[in-house]
């Protein structure tokens, strides 16, 4: 289900009904009321007046919902959009059940549904955690880390990431961290951003020969390197698929009571 499309349709429909009432239906109701009042010497009783001036139920609903839906559309399309993390591909940075906030204007303002950028702001930077539409299936949103910029040469062998022929620095923090006893917790630095990743020494993981990132595209990887469906498998993310930059976790919910103890900034 494309929620953006449904929201745009709801705003358009309620707006058309509301505008139709303002321009056509409401003046007609007032005219009928004025005519009836002029033809009654004693004046209209309250019940009759209310009946003549009463809005039809579609107009009443449209008038009530249109401003609310419009605000939601503007905020969700151009300011902030919430998402829930459905998989463990970004562990340990993001856990299953984390509710995150995505900055919708960090990479420029985009039209809802078509996702065309009409105001440029900044471009993604290496190390950003980015939400994007999955290539080939735009109704599905993915979240991964920006690893390769346009023109970069990317290679992944023996659990080591190489960018433009140089190994990306990483440091072992802990073997068998709590909650992931089979993993290695490592600190990795991409540009100015340092973050944690998981590697499983018992899992050979994917191997990828060197590829060059085309212009207008990005190479994305999950922080859970041996358990992430990312650019190593399906290729590059075009600029027009970008949704926004993830910047914070505001709630965690795994089926029990919502928890706000894990509120944090996404690095």
pLDDT per residue as tens digits for the range 89-106: 999 999 999 999 999 999
Residue 42 has pLDDT above 80, yes or no: no
Tell me the average pLDDT across 250-267: 92
Average pLDDT, the chain: 93
Q: Is 144 a catalytic residue?
A: yes
Whether 255 has a pLDDT exceeding 90, the answer reads: no
Of 104, 144, 159, 170, which one is the catalytic site residue?
144
**Domains of the chain in sequence order:** 1-76 (no CATH), 85-263 (2.10.109.10)
Percent of residues, the chain, with pLDDT higher than 90: 81
Q: What is residue 52's predicted lDDT score, i.e. its pLDDT? A: 85
Residue 231 known to be catalytic: no
Distance CA 89, CA 160 (A): 17
43 confidence band (pLDDT: 50, 70, 90): confident
Catalytic choice (4, 89, 228, 231)? 89
What's residue 1's pLDDT?
Answer: 63
């Amino acid at each position: 289900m494309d929620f953006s499309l449904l929201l745009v349709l709801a705003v358009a429909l309620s707006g058309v009904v509301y505008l139709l009432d303002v321009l056509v239906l409401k003046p007609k109701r007032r005219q009928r009321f004025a005519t009836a009042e002029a033809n009654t010497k004693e004046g209209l009783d309250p019940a009759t007046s209310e009946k003549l001036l009463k809005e039809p139920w579609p107009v009443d609903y449209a008038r009530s919902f249109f401003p609310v839906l419009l605000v939601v559309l503007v905020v969700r399309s151009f300011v902030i959009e919430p998402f829930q993390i459905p998989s463990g591909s970004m562990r340990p940075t993001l856990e299953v059940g984390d509710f995150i906030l995505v900055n919708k204007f960090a990479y420029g303002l985009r039209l809802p549904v078509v996702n065309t950028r009409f105001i440029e702001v900044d471009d993604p930077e290496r190390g950003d955690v980015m939400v994007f539409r999955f290539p080939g299936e735009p109704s599905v949103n993915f979240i991964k880390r920006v690893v390769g910029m346009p023109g970069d040469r990317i290679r992944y062998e023996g659990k080591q990431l190489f960018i433009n022929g140089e190994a990306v620095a990483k440091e072992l923090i802990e073997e068998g961290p709590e909650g992931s006893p089979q993993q290695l917790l490592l600190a990795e630095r991409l540009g100015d951003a340092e973050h944690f990743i998981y590697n499983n020494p018992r899992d050979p993981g994917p191997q990828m020969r060197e590829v060059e990132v085309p212009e207008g595209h990005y190479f994305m990887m999950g922080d859970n390197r041996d358990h992430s469906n990312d650019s190593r498998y399906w290729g590059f993310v075009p600029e027009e698929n970008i949704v926004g930059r993830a910047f914070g976790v505001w709630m965690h919910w795994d089926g029990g009571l919502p928890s706000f103890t894990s509120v944090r900034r996404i690095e």
